[in-house]
Structure 1
Amino acid sequence: MTRAVSRRFFLSGLVGAGLAGPALANAPSVSLRPQARLVGAAKRAMGGPESLLANSGLSGTISIAVADVKSGALLEGVNATSGQPPASVSKAITALYALDALGAEHRFHTRLIADGPVQNGVLRGDLYLAGGGDPTLDTDGLALLAARLKEAGVREVQGAFRVYDGALPYIRSIDPGQPDHVGYSPAVSGIALNFNRVYFEWKRSGSSYAISMDARTAKYRPEVQSARMGLADRQLPVYSYAERDGVDEWSVARGALGQNGGRWLPVRSPGLYAGDVFRTLARSQGIALKAARLSGGLPGGATVLAQVSSEPLGRILRDMLKWSTNITAEMVGLAATQARGGSASSLEASGRAMSAWAKSSFGMTQISLVDHSGLGDASRMSAQELVQALVQVRRRGILRPILKPIPIRDERGRVQENHPIKVDAKTGTLNFVSGLGGYMTAADGTELAFAIFAADTDIRARIKRQDREVPQGARTWNGKARRLQQQLIQRWGAMYGG
């Protein structure tokens, strides 16, 4: 079902907790405030966090802040007011923004619309596949939609087959600065299929390869015509891309393939991709469709023949925060901006609208976001202001229930089972950028909100576009950042949690 747009949180339906709370329409009346705490000699001997930061081996800038959720007291801060790239930690703000604008029970709908009558099983007019901004639509969903079209009595379509993707603006790549072939920066539009990714598979047979492109799920594996792959006798680049008449034309260096394998590649023409796959699935139901065409609008007075709906938004956001799916963040963020009456003409415009909302809701005066996923490294957020927001929403029972549990690890990176400190947070990782923001509960039950940002923007700026998937030194740097996060969390648990 659809839900009336509201500026209030109605979160009672959110999975795993009763989350109803007041609106976040105004900045908090009380800001985080420093508060002295009495500690024992052992705690005093730990000193401040500066030694951990200095010994981390990280280049660039590190910012941290931690506060007591109950009192709102800022317990520690280093460079806490400095604006830093938040990476995917910004998805926590996106989740709050989408819940505020749309509500936890909001669902996205993908419909089949008839522009003409159905007479004796024949649609005497055009058939529209109308995207409704569902970021989770997959091939299984399209297969169900095709089956429902047959159940509606349609066995033939005389007119054209059109795909409407205008529910959200078309954006060719979430971050144009990323290499063409990375699956985490696909196109965005009002229809998405399989997170706008297509699966490229290769199988070696002697000196040759069998290659395919498909829209697979666990149940289906339809081959696609809207994306093609060719083999090239070259060393570099591994992948090359060109768009020709709405078809994604790829080539891959033969010498880079090795034995059997596969990977997801981004889709740049989401509407034609979804139409291509739906046409195959409709054919399996005995319904022949013409090749898909994009449509800039929907016909007035048309009839809805079939529909599939997403899970409630609360569950979508829980999965987004767990798996850090960029396209989900962008699509729900754009939908939220539209619902609030703001400009969603581009990711940057919608990011500005979300930043303005965060400023008015939480007093985040320094926030400046260029998208909703954190993939764009021009976004900025301060650790202290994020913690301020986290304290406010936690007092309303919001956000922590859908954050991902983060295990405590030892110095060798091994998970420590049944550790007394419990952490629920959002991670953020770009090359030479690392963030973690969320909540921790210490052994004595003390609940803290924290944010840890680290970035070496100078090194990152020097990386060539073609090298941005795995640049030299990035894994080592980001590994050091994750170790520092663990050390800080364990320090805070000992220092402020008994």
Structure 2
Amino acid sequence: MIKSFRSLILTCALLPLALPLAAAPLNTSLPPKVAQALKASQLGDNALSLVMLPLTGPGTPTVYNADTSVQPASTMKLVTTFSALEMLGPNYQWKTEFYTDGTLSDGILHGNLYLKGGGDPKLNMEKLWLLLRDLRANGVTQVTGDLVLDRSYFVQPALPDFDDDGGDDNAPFLVRPDALMINLKALRFVARNDSGKVLVAVEPPIATIRVDNQVKPLNSKDCSGDVRYNPVTQPDGSISVVVSGELGIGCSSQTYLSLLDHPAYAAGAVRAIWGELGGSIEGADREAAVPKDARLLARAFSPDLAEIIRDINKYSNNTMAQQLYLSLGEKFRTDADTDDGRAAQRVIRQWLAQKGITSPHLVMENGSGLSRAERVSARELANMLQAAWKSPYQAEFMSSMPIVGLDGTMRKRLKNTAMAGEGHIKTGTLNTVRAIAGFSRDSNGNTWAVVAILNDPKPFGASSVLDQVLLSLYAQPRAVDTSPKL
């Protein structure tokens, strides 16, 4: 199979680019209002790569600057999620398991408790709580040995840190993937002034995270006060979060921070919930693989992949996209692959080649678009969308994208226009990138694949250009309905 994939890739490399989009006639210039919007934003015409391809009904494709290698930002998630839908299947699930190498007697587990990660992108606190409840229901109350974390499921690539916005190490959107990722490694801090006294809570209540509450309560009901959260690492390795500022009566403030590495967060979350359930673990926290003769104690499954990709695409979740990308690599990794990242890029290229899609510009680093290395052309992405429209999983893929003017990252865009509700569009944003890609309808009810990617050192305000792309697509000449009436 691998040899046939390689020969197909070599064959496709010799073919003309994007044959489906080469059919005449073609519009090879920008729609007038899009050109005007570019000029108003002080952007050159070549900053934009654009493809608008009719999928149903009549329409003339627009292909402009479509074969330029560009940074796609989060529109790259469409490649990751659609390829996963087809190669893993919409009902694919991940699993997380507890094992032991000891014996259970009268509620006491004499031995170690192993937590084996399976790469679940959505192992949240509720799911972990249920898994620990199952462990308790199976008769375990006390563990005499260690809490051992098995994070060996992924072979992680060595990737550079992403510092597009100056490198805020505590930003949850920068969390790296992990085979045992719990709750996206996020700590939620909530400050409340309910009765003239400010209380600050952290969830989950991990023992190594301490709160230094310095918030000044205000007597007024003005909720405009600024509450700040400043983490400070202590000599013993614990982290104190200094919470300062002012908060009015009846007001609250919250933020999410990523302050611990994956092992510390996972172990801390397990111990916090297990303690709340009345359990105890006497040993230390450490990492090791589950022994081959270990006994399964409890298992939890993730939601189906079709649900996972909704979180990835609608809310542009970078970490979940990277988890999915590595999961593809793990599934199809061979001895020739040095890590799951390289394996994922290889199988995605092979999958595209099988569909007859030539992709010389495609470069995937982590599959999320949160990267300066990732590249694609507008034509390649549009060809993939065209293939997705014909896929048995088209409905699942399309419904995972934000609906224009209604939800996800498109919730506030084009809200009060004729475009509201007419498109399923994935957005992408980096410091030098603004992008949209997905499916959108025109005023005749016909569906188009649309890809518009702006690369410029200063694309500020350029989202208006991309909005104008959708408006121009919608404003196709009104067609006469000649369909028979019953």
Query: Would you call these one fold, judging by a TM-score over 0.5?
Result: yes
In the superposition, relative to structure 1, how do residues 29 and 482 fare at CA in structure 2: closer, same or farther (>3 Å)? closer
Partner of 2:349: 356
Partner of 1:402: 400
User: For the Cα contact (< 8 Å) 2:121–2:320, is it kept in 1?
Assistant: yes
In the superposition, relative to structure 1, how do residues 74 and 291 fare at CA in structure 2: closer, same or farther (>3 Å)? farther
User: For the Cα contact (< 8 Å) 2:162–2:370, is it kept in 1?
Assistant: no
Shift in Å, 1:188: 2.1
User: For the Cα contact (< 8 Å) 1:105–1:314, is it kept in 2?
Assistant: yes
CA distance in 2, matches of 1:435, 1:385: 14
Establish whether residue 485 from structure 1 lines up as the match of residue 466 from structure 2: yes
CA distance in 1, matches of 2:384, 2:470: 19
In the superposition, relative to structure 1, how do residues 69 and 323 fare at CA in structure 2: closer, same or farther (>3 Å)? same
User: For the Cα contact (< 8 Å) 1:192–1:270, is it kept in 2?
Assistant: yes
Question: Which of these residues, 53, 63, 82, is aligned with residue 38 of structure 2?
Answer: 53
CA distance in 1, matches of 2:455, 2:30: 29
- Superposed, 1:412-451 pairs within 5 Å as 415-416=415-416, 419=419, 422-451=422-451
Establish whether residue 345 from structure 1 lines up as the match of residue 343 from structure 2: no
CA distance in 1, matches of 2:30, 2:91: 50
Shift in Å, 1:212: 4.3
In the superposition, relative to structure 1, how do residues 339 and 116 fare at CA in structure 2: closer, same or farther (>3 Å)? same
The amino acid that maps onto 1:381 is: V
User: For the Cα contact (< 8 Å) 1:169–1:189, is it kept in 2?
Assistant: no
Establish whether residue 187 from structure 1 lines up as the match of residue 181 from structure 2: no
CA distance in 2, matches of 1:324, 1:421: 19
Establish whether residue 378 from structure 1 lines up as the match of residue 370 from structure 2: no
CA distance in 2, matches of 1:344, 1:231: 47
The amino acid that maps onto 1:249 is: I
The amino acid that maps onto 1:489 is: L
Establish whether residue 197 from structure 1 lines up as the match of residue 195 from structure 2: no
Shift in Å, 1:144: 0.9
CA distance in 2, matches of 1:425, 1:46: 19
The amino acid that maps onto 1:77 is: V
Question: Which of these residues, 61, 68, 72, is aligned with residue 75 of structure 1?
Answer: 61
The amino acid that maps onto 1:401 is: S
CA distance in 2, matches of 1:212, 1:142: 20
CA RMSD of aligned residues (A): 3.9
Aligned residues: 439
CA distance in 2, matches of 1:243, 1:298: 32
Partner of 1:310: 302
Note the residue ranges of structure 1 that are not aligned, 5 or more in a row.
1-23, 39-43, 216-222, 460-473
User: For the Cα contact (< 8 Å) 1:172–1:186, is it kept in 2?
Assistant: no
Shift in Å, 1:205: 11
Question: Which of these residues, 14, 25, 29, is aligned with residue 36 of structure 1?
Answer: 25
In the superposition, relative to structure 1, how do residues 149 and 47 fare at CA in structure 2: closer, same or farther (>3 Å)? closer
CA distance in 1, matches of 2:325, 2:58: 28
User: For the Cα contact (< 8 Å) 1:164–1:271, is it kept in 2?
Assistant: no
The amino acid that maps onto 2:295 is: T
Shift in Å, 1:413: 5.8
Establish whether residue 264 from structure 1 lines up as the match of residue 245 from structure 2: no
Cα offsets for 1:59-91 (capped at 9, x unmatched): 782211111225898711222111221111111
CA distance in 2, matches of 1:54, 1:34: 30
User: For the Cα contact (< 8 Å) 2:207–2:272, is it kept in 1?
Assistant: no
In the superposition, relative to structure 1, how do residues 257 and 241 fare at CA in structure 2: closer, same or farther (>3 Å)? farther
Partner of 1:128: 114
In the superposition, relative to structure 1, how do residues 368 and 29 fare at CA in structure 2: closer, same or farther (>3 Å)? closer
In the superposition, relative to structure 1, how do residues 351 and 302 fare at CA in structure 2: closer, same or farther (>3 Å)? closer
Partner of 1:300: 292
**Sequence identity percentage:** 21
What is the TM-score when the length of structure 2 is the normalising length? Answer: 0.78
The amino acid that maps onto 2:270 is: F
The amino acid that maps onto 1:426 is: K
